[in-house]
Amino acid sequence: MTILDKPQYRAPRYEKAPLSLPPLPVPYPMTRTDRVPVQRYYDPAFYATECERLWPRVWQMACFLAEIPNPGDYVTYEILGKSVIVVRVDEGTVRAFHNACRHRGVQLVEGRGNVKGSGFICPFHGWCYGLDGANTFLYQPDLFDESNRLPEDLALVPCRVETWGGCAFINFDNDAPSLRESIGPFAQFHDVWKVEGLWPEWWLSCRMPTNWKLAMEAFMEGYHVMQTHPQLVAKGASSKVYRPVGESMSDLEFRTQMTVLGSDAPFDKAAFVQQNLHFMRTLSVGMAGMIHEKDVRVAEGLSNIELPDNLGEAMAAWNRAVNDAIIDWNQRQGIDMPDLNYIEANGMVGGVEFCFPHFFLLPMLSSSSAYRVRPLGPEECLFELWSLTRYPPGQEPPAPPEPTPMAPDDPRWPPIPTQDFSNLPRQQRGLHAEGFEFMRLSGWVEGMIANYQRLIDGYLAGLPYEQLVPAIHQVVGPIDAESRDIGF
């Protein structure tokens, strides 16, 4: 296994960042890396440009493969008025088709199900289609002119689909580079985590009165943790320093940063263990899959562990012991686990990892959370949250059903997303305030937002994939990134 190099840290860029663009106008473009024009979050013309030039060209996470484990299983993926069927053909084959009968355009299926041996049957006139998309039946073909019943014209229109990491991704552009080439570092990082073995155990969603990018950006920085999630800040931690200026977040270990960074208290080994366990319990209750309850139970078995007297050595020993215990517990269940110590030794404990344009994975220890955001209008989006974990082969439960969207303040949401959701509608309303012209970003900890917005400008400007793909590689990855040169 190749050890991944840590990304090189670059100083934030606050100077002008003009784009060398083809003659496609970009409304309200990013002209500085530390300022985002507010109209990008509500202007109808900007939203229409995204719908026209961004979403038709990007890889979109359409479903977890756990939703379609058997031949004939299908799900529908909806985005901006388009509907795509993703169907399992056999163990190694997944296909996707635009969800419209070739007769008069009726959508063939809704939601999720299994078509078994019959294939897809149009509910209007009974035209039938196999799992390969070919038309297999229509009533009395001679009623139609021969030019209207050519087999190649009657087949369902395919949509491009590729699989990675236990997910099916679709792309409306047949000329786009492959999924793996496009997401690059994100896939490489999570291959080591063996995310293809993660299985959804529950799934929640809400209709958020918030622009889709605003919902995404809420999870691109940890700077909000002190105020929004105070339960994640260790007692005694500094309230004035989030992280040393100029120090990359990739150089800080996630659990250490959340539990002991900034603490001036004398080192008490027993208190240190309890503080780490308290953090694990808090994050488990708050986010479920990000630290799964079974990982907490395993770690609680280490309460009386002997640790070195030095804080740094104690943290390393504690993390190694937790990793070893969780790996051992899972392997005894027959579960294929990633090497958590290898991951930690190579600085790959990112906490929250972004995949352009609308997907997050949050792997920690045995499990993960996942987010997906889809636009519903200039100031509304669908936000989805999954808890993912690992099961022994053959013991995976049925994938959870597609949820009915809840309100963002529904009490069934876990505590941490509830806290995030409390900010987002207020932020959307605040963007309309008189005199608020742009967001002011920190290039040290909010640089991912700037990188993200400039990459969107590249799509809106119609840049070729030769420029866009290297830029995607600069944008995907761990949150709290610095402002980077993305190539345009």
Tell me, what's the pLDDT at 438? Answer: 96
Least Cα distance to 12 among 323, 396, 448 occurs for 448
pLDDT score of 105 = 97
In a domain, 160, yes or no: yes
In a domain, 170, yes or no: no
Question: Can you give 36-68 as a three-state secondary structure string?
Answer: EEHHHHCCHHHHHHHHHHCHHHCCEEEEEHHHC
Nearest to 453 by CA among 160, 84, 59, 26: 26
Given CA atoms 49, 54, 57, 63 in this order, what sign does their dihedral have?
negative
Question: Whole domain around residue 85: which residue ranges?
Answer: 62-164
For residues 286 and 313, membership in a common domain is answered with yes
The per-residue pLDDT for 242 is: 74
Per-residue tokens: 238: 């500094």
| Residue found by looking up tokens 């960042």 in the block | 17
pLDDT of residue 117: 76
Same domain, 138 and 237: no
Is 405 inside a domain boundary? yes
Average pLDDT over every residue of 377-385: 98
* 129 has pLDDT over 70: yes
**Domain finish residue from 111, 132, 164:** 164
Give the torsion sign (CA, 428, 433, 438, 439): negative
pLDDT at 225: 86
Domains: count for the chain: 2
Residue 93 is assigned to a structural domain of this protein: yes
Q: Is residue 76 part of a domain?
A: yes
Lateral strand order in the sheet of 199-208: 199-208, 380-389, 367-377, 359-364, 353-355, 477-478
Mean pLDDT of the chain: 90
Whether residues 42 and 155 share a domain: the answer is: no
pLDDT at 102: 97
CATH of the domain at 264: 3.90.380
Torsion of CA 107, 112, 117, 120, to 10 degrees: 0
Q: What is the pLDDT of residue 236?
A: 58
| 273 domain residue, yes or no | yes
pLDDT tens, residue by residue, 278-328: 999 999 998 877 899 999 999 999 999 999 998 889 999 999 999 999 999
pLDDT digits (tens, 9 = 90+) for 459-469: 999 999 999 99
Q: Are residues 104 and 234 in the same domain?
A: no
Amino acid at 346: N
In this structure, the answer to whether residues 383 and 419 fall within a common structural domain is: yes
Q: Is residue 256 predicted with pLDDT exceeding 50?
A: no
Of the pLDDT bands very low, low, confident and very high (cuts 50, 70, 90), residue 237 is low
Q: Which residues contact 37 (CB under 8 A, 6 or more apart)?
A: 28, 29, 30, 437, 438
Condensed to tens digits (0 to 9), the pLDDT of residues 87-105 reads 999 999 999 999 999 999 9
The residue-averaged pLDDT of 244-248 equals 66
| Domain end point (choices 164, 189, 204) | 164
pLDDT at 103: 97
Asked whether residue 224 falls in the same domain as residue 355, the answer is yes
pLDDT over 70, % of the chain: 89
**110 and 225 share a domain?**
no
Per-residue model confidence as pLDDT tens digits over 403-459: 999 999 999 999 999 999 999 999 999 999 999 999 999 998 999 999 999 999 999
pLDDT number for residue 345: 92
Predicted local distance difference test score (pLDDT) of residue 2 = 39
CATH code, domain carrying 69: 2.102.10.10
Please check whether residue 418 lies inside any domain of the structure: yes
Same domain? For 152 and 208 the reply is no
H helix or E strand, kind and range, residue 137: strand 135-137
Is residue 183 domain-shared with residue 153, that is, in the same domain?
no
Do 442 and 355 have their domain in common? yes
Same domain, 224 and 117: no
Within a domain: residue 24?
Answer: no
What's residue 167's pLDDT?
A: 98
Q: Is the same domain home to 477 and 335?
A: yes
> pTM higher than 0.75, yes or no?
yes
- Domain-ending residue, one of 114, 139, 164: 164
